[in-house]
Structure 1
Amino acid sequence: MATYNKQEIVDSVPQQGFFGHPKGLFTLFFTEFWERFSYYGMRAILVYYMYYEVSKGGLGLDQSTALSIMSIYGSLVYMSGIIGGWMADRILGTARSVFYGGIFIMLGHIVLAIPGSMILFFVSMVLIVLGTGLLKPNVSTIVGQIYSEKDARRDAGFSIFYMGINLGSFLAPLIVGTIGLDYNFHIGFGIAALGMLVGIIVFMVTRKKNLGLAGSIVANPLSPSEKKRVYTLIGGGVILLAILVFVAITLGILTFKTFIALVGVLGILIPTLYFIVMYRSAKTTAVERSRIIAYIPLFIASIMFWAIQEQGSSILANYADKRMELNFAGITLSPAWFQSLNPLFIIILAPVFAWIWIKLGKRQPSIPVKFSLGLLFAGLSFLVILLPAYLGGENSLVNPLWLVLSYLIVVIGELCLSPVGLSATTKLAPAAFSAQTMSLWFLSNAAAQAINAQIVRFYTPSTEMAYFGIIGGAAIVLGVVLFLLSPKIQGYMKGVE
């Protein structure tokens, strides 16, 4: 296989053509736009599909079980990125990983679009988890490949790409959510599948012309002997896993509760092992070990933040459906529409925060302080949403502006923590584990949702105030602790600011 250096790959990409950026950005922008439209469209109606009665087109699951499955699903999506990254680096390359990932996602949504049983539902989940793991991390990697490392347009290019993510995420609940809830869940899932099909077509039709060599190179390919061994291990592992799952289900060992517990354990165990391996590696220098120690409290803070933010598609989606006054200002609102608020606020506020950090320059808060602010706002977003029950009682319908305010506050926290976390990860990562540390960052979201799967079952109208109060209060306390420890953490960062 031919090898190319980074600059040769950049030179193969037409460098002018999409708002002054490489032509490849057009391909990647719209591929990710349609993938996010597909994913968030499906997610906007999935929890309702699970717990709505069969007579209303749903699966009729118990509400707490549906909320737990929603969190488990989100956790597995982020865990699968590890598999997708490895497949791209060793076997497929990033472009083919994106293509096959899109195919799996589309097939998963097609299966959801078929009225059927719980078996079809879980088949669709497996397909979407594997597909998202293949596509999501690798399409972002290709964006980095179309720019040289010193290209001044690089950060702006990622900002444009990020805008594509949020535009797709914003439109999907409005379109798929409305059709899925007002007409038919399966038509909604079919539209999500159609969105992914459009993304695949865009990618395949424009890839050769716009991306050049970007995405086509397997970074660290397996040798022929390694391939044989790896394929044997993968095949044997899949067969063994299938046998174990079948036996466990037959004997009653593997149930919803045990599976949820298993994912919860993995959500904490996998990142813990990552930290241990990186810290103890002979390839990690003393300075890098210090930075790993600094990264641990940031990682814990990230778990706490995402545990709140990701409940927008589970607890708050249920809240919008059951507790919200949906006839507002002469408009009948769909509960799915509220999931468009997060990307809408990000689109509006992200440029504002970028301007604030640039304006403050050297006076801007340190990385640990920004993380503590993120936790503070996340906690406040949950304290705000408990006020309606405190003021009007647990049985009264809630003005939708309370939920809008909650989403706005958590987005402010997200903009303090999420982009800063991505940047901090690249700075604090040991050189020998740079790519894996980025995977570790995304595992904080997986861990958060694995924890959510354990705790969402405690949410009921009667426990609403305690639920929001305890979780929101815990986030604020952790934010205060992180703020107090920030000088110490900054010292362990060894010059990283």
Structure 2
Amino acid sequence: MNKDAIETVLLGHPRGLATLFFTEMWERFSYYGMRAILLYYMYYSINSGGLGYSKTLALSIMSIYGSLVYLSSVFGGFVSDRVLGSQRTVFYGGIFIMFGHIVLAIPFGHVALFVSIGLITIGTGLLKPNVSQMVGGLYNEKDLRRDTGFSIFVFGINVGAFAAPFIVGYLGQKVNFHVGFSVAAIGMLFGLIQYYQGGKKYFSKDSLYPTDPIDPRDLKVIFKKLILFFIIIILIFTIMNLFNFLTMINVILFITILAVLVPIYYFVVMLNSRKITQVERLRIWAYVPLFIASVLFWSIEEQGAVVLAVFANEQTRLSLFGYEFPSSWFQSMNPLFIMIYVPIFAMIWTKMGTKQPTSSIKFSYGLFFAGMSFLWMIIPILLFGNEVRVSPFWLIVSWALVIIGEMLISPIGLSATTKLAPKAFQSQMMSMWFISDAVAQAFNSQLVRFYSNQNELLYFGVVGISVIAFGLILLLFSPRIKVLMEGIE
């Protein structure tokens, strides 16, 4: 740890925290700003400044894009730990993200879209997991400021995510999509500038180097495996093309299958490893239903940027007290409710102390609220049909419900993952938590194809009831899960 990084403080915390706070704030500003208008950019007609994709295809692309972003975090962690070190990995990730937004800002149509997706996916994978790791590196393990530091950092994430739709969304929908994407690029540029300047002063020199440098012999093996992987991918796509199966929908399906296979592979490897004890093996089995529950929860939560975004644009009255606003502004509801709920839930858990429900019971309640957020959307359809624009109130309440679910699942899931992780697979187990969101969005890329204005009543009902049903099953099995946890609460 760099001594200066500890002694140079701001408001009682290392100065490096402020640098990382604003880095992540601007990165989230750029990402959520782009995400707030990307769906509309894809399915708006060419005459309206969009790409003219079908709504179904646009929904699938948005979902698989989110899946790829979370899957790439595994790659980013490897690059930081074994090759570049966290400080440089985060900086290069920011550069990839910025150029991804710049590509979108240039009106090059379909090619620009997919080049941008590739750049931002790689960049986010490099930046997102490592900037969080750097926050932890600012404090000693016994430093009492550590938890508060992470709380401040998370607040920065939500500030960026909250502000972005208001600025980028307004410019994108009211002026021009490419102007909105340009502002997202500028936001990432601001983040990079202050990260570079602050990094020279306040980060530990250790962060410039990998924690587990890769051996040149291992690098050759990894390089061979990567070549083999890309050869297999090329062969699969070639065969698909020969049989006229190489369509966008089928490519998305292929990525969905890969995303689902990744956690299955991890679970099989861990459960059959000789490096874990019998107690650790039981804890992994206890984690399996929690993982499935998290996939189901994120499936609903992440549809706020796809299905609910469509509902906001086409079936919601976009005015309040006589003021008209763009549909992208609804994307600020997620971070807004997180900022409102975090201190409330912190007080609840502190007051309950040892009387808190177990992790699996909290997960069950989280699924209930997530499912209810979709069942809630049935009410305006039953009352007014799907041809009338309804009050913004309906969407706002839906987000309020699902974020209660997030408070019961997201922080609890992170905590449970660290507690249940076998010693030999701690990093891989943490990757599993982020992969659950990747699997959820990959699953969504297929699920959202069934959503349309005509069958949305059935869609909200089936998805909502299914998630609540799994929550009930999880609640029934919670005593058994507690036993498998072997003393872990």
TM-score range, shorter chain: over 0.9
Match of residue 348 from structure 2: 356
Q: Deviation at 1:37?
A: 0.3
Taking a change above 3 Å as real, the CA distance of residues 302 and 237 of structure 1, as seen in their structure-2 partners, is closer
1:423 aligns with 2:419: no
Taking a change above 3 Å as real, the CA distance of residues 475 and 239 of structure 1, as seen in their structure-2 partners, is closer
Q: Deviation at 1:241?
A: 4.7
Q: Give the alignment of 1:100-179 within 5 angstroms.
A: 100-179=92-171
1:412 aligns with 2:438: no
Deviations 1:264-319 (A, max 9, x none): 21222110110111111111111110100000000000000000000010000011
Deviations 1:45-76 (A, max 9, x none): 00000000001110000000000000000001
Q: Do the aligned partners of 2:6 and 2:139 also contact (CA within 8 Å) in 1?
A: no
1:368 aligns with 2:360: yes
**Structure 2 Cα separation of the partners of residues 13 and 249 of structure 1:** 55
| Structure 1 residue identity aligned to 2:160 | G
| Structure 2 residue identity aligned to 1:254 | L
**Which piece of structure 1 moves more, 243-252 or 477-486?**
243-252
Q: Do the aligned partners of 1:13 and 1:214 also contact (CA within 8 Å) in 2?
A: no
Q: Deviation at 1:260?
A: 1.7
The match for 1:58 among 50, 54, 72 is 50
The match for 1:270 among 236, 256, 262 is 262
Deviations 1:198-219 (A, max 9, x none): 1111111110211122522311
Taking a change above 3 Å as real, the CA distance of residues 102 and 366 of structure 1, as seen in their structure-2 partners, is same
Q: Which runs of 5+ in 1 are unaligned?
A: 1-8
Q: Give the alignment of 1:459-474 within 5 angstroms.
A: 459-474=451-466
Q: Do the aligned partners of 1:81 and 1:134 also contact (CA within 8 Å) in 2?
A: yes
| Structure 2 residue identity aligned to 1:172 | A
Match of residue 388 from structure 2: 396
Q: Do the aligned partners of 1:112 and 1:186 also contact (CA within 8 Å) in 2?
A: yes
Taking a change above 3 Å as real, the CA distance of residues 307 and 285 of structure 1, as seen in their structure-2 partners, is same
Q: Do the aligned partners of 1:14 and 1:211 also contact (CA within 8 Å) in 2?
A: no
Deviations 1:210-242 (A, max 9, x none): 112252231111123333454465467557756
Q: Give the alignment of 1:232-271 within 5 angstroms.
A: 234=226, 238=230, 241=233, 245=237, 248-249=240-241, 252-271=244-263
Q: Do the aligned partners of 1:45 and 1:185 also contact (CA within 8 Å) in 2?
A: yes
Q: Do the aligned partners of 1:146 and 1:214 also contact (CA within 8 Å) in 2?
A: no
Q: Which runs of 5+ in 2 are unaligned?
A: none
**Structure 1 Cα separation of the partners of residues 247 and 373 of structure 2:** 34
The match for 1:202 among 194, 203, 215 is 194
Q: Deviation at 1:398?
A: 1.0
Q: Deviation at 1:393?
A: 1.1
Q: Give the alignment of 1:85-104 within 5 angstroms.
A: 85-104=77-96
**Structure 2 Cα separation of the partners of residues 406 and 229 of structure 1:** 49
Q: Do the aligned partners of 1:98 and 1:134 also contact (CA within 8 Å) in 2?
A: yes
Q: Do the aligned partners of 1:42 and 1:176 also contact (CA within 8 Å) in 2?
A: yes
Measured on the aligned residues, the alpha-carbon RMSD in Å equals: 1.6
Q: Deviation at 1:261?
A: 1.2
**Structure 2 Cα separation of the partners of residues 433 and 382 of structure 1:** 36
**Structure 2 Cα separation of the partners of residues 50 and 417 of structure 1:** 32
**Structure 2 Cα separation of the partners of residues 178 and 27 of structure 1:** 28
The match for 2:424 among 432, 435, 446 is 432
**Structure 2 Cα separation of the partners of residues 13 and 173 of structure 1:** 34
Q: Deviation at 1:385?
A: 1.1
Match of residue 38 from structure 2: 46
**Structure 2 Cα separation of the partners of residues 43 and 236 of structure 1:** 33
**Structure 1 Cα separation of the partners of residues 108 and 298 of structure 2:** 33
Question: What TM-score does the superposition give when structure 2 sets the normalisation length?
Answer: 0.97
1:313 aligns with 2:305: yes
Taking a change above 3 Å as real, the CA distance of residues 51 and 290 of structure 1, as seen in their structure-2 partners, is same
Taking a change above 3 Å as real, the CA distance of residues 250 and 195 of structure 1, as seen in their structure-2 partners, is farther
Match of residue 495 from structure 1: 487
Match of residue 332 from structure 1: 324
| Structure 2 residue identity aligned to 1:48 | Y
| Structure 2 residue identity aligned to 1:123 | V
Q: Deviation at 1:24?
A: 1.1
1:443 aligns with 2:416: no
**Structure 1 Cα separation of the partners of residues 323 and 344 of structure 2:** 30
| Structure 2 residue identity aligned to 1:396 | V
SS of residue matched to 1:151: coil
**Structure 2 Cα separation of the partners of residues 213 and 429 of structure 1:** 30
**Structure 2 Cα separation of the partners of residues 199 and 492 of structure 1:** 44
% of aligned pairs identical? Answer: 52
SS of residue matched to 1:416: helix
Question: What TM-score does the superposition give when structure 1 sets the normalisation length?
Answer: 0.95
Deviations 1:333-390 (A, max 9, x none): 2100000011011111101101110010011111111100110000000011111001
Taking a change above 3 Å as real, the CA distance of residues 186 and 251 of structure 1, as seen in their structure-2 partners, is farther
**Structure 2 Cα separation of the partners of residues 200 and 236 of structure 1:** 35
**Structure 2 Cα separation of the partners of residues 232 and 290 of structure 1:** 35
**Structure 1 Cα separation of the partners of residues 167 and 23 of structure 2:** 18
SS of residue matched to 1:325: coil
Q: Do the aligned partners of 1:379 and 1:476 also contact (CA within 8 Å) in 2?
A: yes
Deviations 1:178-203 (A, max 9, x none): 00000000010011011111111111
1:33 aligns with 2:25: yes
The match for 1:21 among 1, 13, 29 is 13
SS of residue matched to 1:298: helix
1:191 aligns with 2:210: no
| Structure 2 residue identity aligned to 1:124 | S
Deviations 1:143-200 (A, max 9, x none): 1111111111111111100001000000000100000000000010011011111111
| Structure 2 residue identity aligned to 1:261 | L
The match for 1:347 among 335, 339, 349 is 339
Match of residue 4 from structure 1: none
Q: Do the aligned partners of 2:4 and 2:202 also contact (CA within 8 Å) in 1?
A: no
Match of residue 204 from structure 2: 212
